Amino acid sequence: MTEDSDLALRALRLLDLTDLSERATETGALQLCTRAVAPPGPVAAICLWPQFVKTARRALREQPVQIATVINFPAGGSNCSLIENDLSEALADGSDEIDLVLPWRAFLAGDLASARDMVAEARARCGDKTLKVILETGEYPDQGAVRAASELAIAAGADFIKTSTGKTATSATPEAARTMLEAIKASGRPVGLKPSGGLRTLADARTYLDLADEIMGPGWATPRTFRFGASGLYGVLADIIAGTVAGERTDGAY
């Protein structure tokens, strides 16, 4: 395998294969589950709307793929009581991971308590399940705000901090990812990073993995500490892997 195909396989193993489109259906959820475990998979997880968690749980029974769903998504409202039933239902339906949108507008307006309380409430309800907190960094005025939101989410119990919902004009950026990784490293806690939204190429994957290797050290980025959130990246990575393998077979035949 070539350097590109090795990188593509590494990135695919870290992928949260995602369908959060407005036209998502149960049939689409089943197709997502099939793709998640088919060669060259498996991926790390699938991420889909809460109403499809039960369907995914049945389809992925005994498969090594986590099921993630979104809460307070994509708006990031600040009413903590509104997320409680959604969280409880998603976990009861079989979700392994919760991607919670931080009430980032409240946070940027100085209402740190609302943001902190929501993450802490989600942490308490999630128990041993994975909690990823979406900061929506593309809407922040500067990296100082990204750093402060990262620190708040980590202190309140996030297992991962995630850049974006993918529903705003600016999603993941290397600048935000660097800031978030630096906050993770400074915390001393085993917290992961999930760049999400706008990742479409192998070069995008390389950029974020290089950052993780630089700041956290080679080998740090595993499915327990690093995820890509992308709906379009899977096909690109799979094509690179399949094309390279086919090319090697062809070469070997001559």
204 is catalytic: no
State the sign of the Cα–Cα–Cα–Cα dihedral 138, 144, 149, 150. Answer: positive
* Helix, strand, coil % in the chain, rounded to nearest 5: 50, 15, 35
* Pairing assessment for the beta strands 160-162 and 66-71 based on DSSP bridges: unpaired
Cα of first residue to Cα of last residue in the chain, in angstroms, is 17
On whether the CB atoms of residues 66 and 41 are closer than 8 A, the answer is no
194 is catalytic: yes
Contacts of 7 (CB under 8 A, 6+ apart): 202, 205, 206, 209
| Catalytic residue (choose from 96, 99, 159, 204) | 99
99 is catalytic: yes
| Catalytic residue (choose from 129, 132, 194, 204) | 194
Amino acid letter for position 3: E
| Catalytic residue (choose from 54, 96, 162, 204) | 162
Positions marked catalytic:
99, 162, 194
